[in-house]
Structure 1
C-alpha cells in the first residue's frame, strides 16, 4: 500500500467510525479555519470536541485544506482573495510574490483558499490578505528575535510582518524573506 492509498484508507475509516461523511468534516474544519483557527488549533479542537486521535485529527485537517484549495484554479484563488474591498492590496501581493520569486528558481507559489504559501523544499512564508488595508506576511525564521515591525507568532510561521503598501516591501522585508527562504 502506497502513501496515498494509506491516506485514503485512513480518511475512509474516520468517516465510517464517526458516521460523518468527509465532506461534512471538511466543512466543519473550514468553518473553524475561517474563524481564525490555525492547523494546530484545529487538530486540538477535533481531539477535544470530537474525540479524534491526534493522527486522525491531523490527517483530517490536512485533507480539508487540500479539498478546499483544489476547488478553484490557483489564479482564481488569488483573484478571490483580492476581490472586493481587498482589491487595493493586490499590487502589494504582486510585489511580495515578485520578491519571493527573485530569491531562487525553486520558489513555489501555492495559492490556497485564504492565503498563498511560498515554498522551497518546505514552506518559508505565507501571504494572507488580513484586511482591506493589510497583508500579513508569515515567515519561518526559527528562534530569531522579534524587533521593530517583526512580531513573534506561533504555529507554522514563527514571525509576522504586517504590510500595508508596496513601499513597505522594502530592503528589510526582502532580507527577512531571504532569511526564511535560506532556512527552507
Structure 2
C-alpha cells in the first residue's frame, strides 16, 4: 500500500468514524452490482467525495490492484475483446516510463492509473473503437488533441482519444509529460 492510500485510509476513519473494512461491509449489505451504484450511494447517502467513494467501491468489489495477487490479470481482463488496443497501451507505457523512475503503474479493473505523488494520467481501452488517455491538467485550455472533461467528479480533467498506435505522436507524449511534471 502506498503512502497516499495510507493517508486516505486514515482520513476516511478520522472523518467518518468507520474503517475501510466497515464501509466495505455497509456497501456489501446494499447488494450493489455496479461500481456506479456504489459511488452514487456513498456520495448521496454519506456525502463522500469522489476519491473516497471510488476507493471504497474498488475495495468492496475487489477491483483494484491491491485486491488481486496477479496485477497482470487485471490488464489482460481490460483487453479481452479489445486486443487490438494492447499495442497502444504498451507504446504509451513505454514512453511514459522514460519520464522518470518515480512513476507508479497501478492497474485497476477497467484502466491503468499512472501516478507520481498523485495520479497524472490513466490508460483505458474505453470501447472497442476508442482508447482513452485521461490526463490531469486542471486549468489547461483544451487544444489540439486535448479535450476538456466537463464532469466535476471525473478522475482526470482532460482526455485524448486514440483509435490505433499510429495516433500516438509527439503531441500525445508532450501532454502526458506535462501532466507528469505537474504531479511532482
* TM-score bracket relative to the smaller structure: 0.7 to 0.9
Larger Rg over CA atoms: 1
- 1:134-149 to structure 2, matched below 5 A, reads 134-149=130-145
Kindly state the Cα deviation for residue 61 of structure 1 after the two structures are TM-superposed: 3.3
Kindly state the Cα deviation for residue 63 of structure 1 after the two structures are TM-superposed: 2.2
Measure the CA separation in 2 of the matches of 1:79 and 1:132: 15
Q: Which runs of 5+ in 2 are unaligned?
A: 1-5
Compare 106-115 and 59-68 and name the one that shifted more: 59-68
Measure the CA separation in 2 of the matches of 1:151 and 1:7: 32
Structure 1 residues 119 and 58: alpha-carbon distance in aligned structure 2, compared to 1, 3 A threshold: closer
Structure 1 residues 23 and 94: alpha-carbon distance in aligned structure 2, compared to 1, 3 A threshold: same
* Residues 1:76 and 2:73 aligned together: yes
For normalisation by structure 1, the TM-score amounts to 0.76
For normalisation by structure 2, the TM-score amounts to 0.76
Structure 1 residues 31 and 177: alpha-carbon distance in aligned structure 2, compared to 1, 3 A threshold: same
Structure 1 residues 180 and 59: alpha-carbon distance in aligned structure 2, compared to 1, 3 A threshold: closer
Measure the CA separation in 2 of the matches of 1:179 and 1:94: 20
* Residue 31 of structure 1, aligned match among 31, 34, 49: 34
**Aligned match of 1:161:** 160
* Residues 1:10 and 2:4 aligned together: no
Kindly state the Cα deviation for residue 59 of structure 1 after the two structures are TM-superposed: 4.0
Structure 1 residues 7 and 72: alpha-carbon distance in aligned structure 2, compared to 1, 3 A threshold: same
Kindly state the Cα deviation for residue 74 of structure 1 after the two structures are TM-superposed: 1.2
User: What whole-Å deviation, never above 9, does each CA across 1:85-135 have from its counterpart, x for those lacking one?
Assistant: 201110011111111101111111100001100011110001111111221
Kindly state the Cα deviation for residue 32 of structure 1 after the two structures are TM-superposed: 3.8
More helix by share: 1
| SS of 1:143 mapped into structure 2 | coil
**Aligned match of 2:105:** 109
